[in-house]
Amino acid sequence: MNDAAREPEDRSRDASDQPSEVLAFLGLAPGMHVLDLNAAGGWYADILARVVGPTGHVVAHNDPGARTLLPVADFERRYGGNRLPNVAQLFATHQDLDPLPATLDAVLMSLIYHDTYWHDAKVAWGPVDQPALLACLYRALRPNGIVGVIDHHASPGIDPHDSAMTTHRIDAAIVRRDFLAAGFELAAENDVLRNPADDRSRSVFDAAVYGRTDRFVMRFRRPD
């Protein structure tokens, strides 16, 4: 986290997102092969590259629509000039995502699982088939491989399609349900990103809670 090569604007998120604590909880380590699913501008991919080191590998995945939704200059600044030599970018829809079986040690889904329930006919995203996506990740993981899920808490009992569309949140119980149905085991949960002051009713983009939402962190494991 103290690498001088990290961008100053990246460091500004450390206090609210607690990446050191999150990645230590998930058990990420040098030499691992990690998929950063829907990496967006690559904030976590940049950190993961330093965690796994030169003997590890990171795939920074994005839906193809990210090429138009996110500034090209952001991708160039992040990955240009072989700045992160152990990171490969991958642009693929969720239905076309097909890593080789048993090649990954970990998958990170940071603030994105709720969006698998989000769909707008005017936007080239989804609808996402959650069981198919999780089955794909299960196949790609080695035995005992993990999926780390970070997301914004929705109030309990809210339909995930509704909460995704209105507030970009998801009920943690839905995440547990989906992953357990896909054959994963819930290995542990962590409260490092909890914020009881967030009543979970506002959109995550509302200035009152932006960057300070009540979030959960889960570690799921593919059984050996």
54 in any annotated domain: yes
Over residues 22-40, the mean pLDDT reads 97
Classify burial at 34, counting beta carbons within 10 Å of its beta carbon; exposed 0-12, middle 13-18, buried 19 or more.
buried
Tell me the whole-structure pTM to 2 decimals.
0.95
Write down the mean pLDDT value for the chain. 94
Over residues 193-219, the mean pLDDT reads 97
3 in any annotated domain: no
According to the model, what pLDDT value does residue 28 have? Answer: 97
* Cβ neighbours, 10 Å, residue 132: 13
Q: Rounded distance, CA 20 to CA 26, Å?
A: 10
**Which tens digit of pLDDT belongs to each residue from 82-114?**
999 999 999 999 989 989 999 999 999 999 999
| Residue 206 tokens, joined | 């509302």
Q: Rounded distance, CA 2 to CA 7, Å?
A: 11
Q: Work out how many domains the chain is built from and give that number.
A: 1
According to the model, what pLDDT value does residue 159 have? Answer: 97
What end-to-end distance do the CA atoms of the chain give, in Å? 32
With pLDDT > 70 as the criterion, what percentage of the chain qualifies? 100
Fill in the DSSP letter of residue 70.
S
* Residue 109: domain span: 8-221
Confidence of residue 209 (pLDDT cuts 50, 70, 90): very high
13 in any annotated domain: yes
**Which tens digit of pLDDT belongs to each residue from 47-81?**
999 999 999 999 999 998 887 778 888 889 999 99
According to the model, what pLDDT value does residue 83 have? Answer: 94
142 in any annotated domain: yes
40 in any annotated domain: yes
According to the model, what pLDDT value does residue 66 have? Answer: 80
In the predicted structure, residue 124 carries a pLDDT above the cut 80 = no
Over residues 168-190, the mean pLDDT reads 98
Contact 15, 33 (CB under 8 A): no
Encode burial over 45-55: b for 16+ CB neighbours within 10 A, e otherwise: bbbbbbbbeee
| Residue 93 tokens, joined | 């829809």
| CATH assignment of the domain containing 193 | 3.40.50.150
107 in any annotated domain: yes
2 in any annotated domain: no
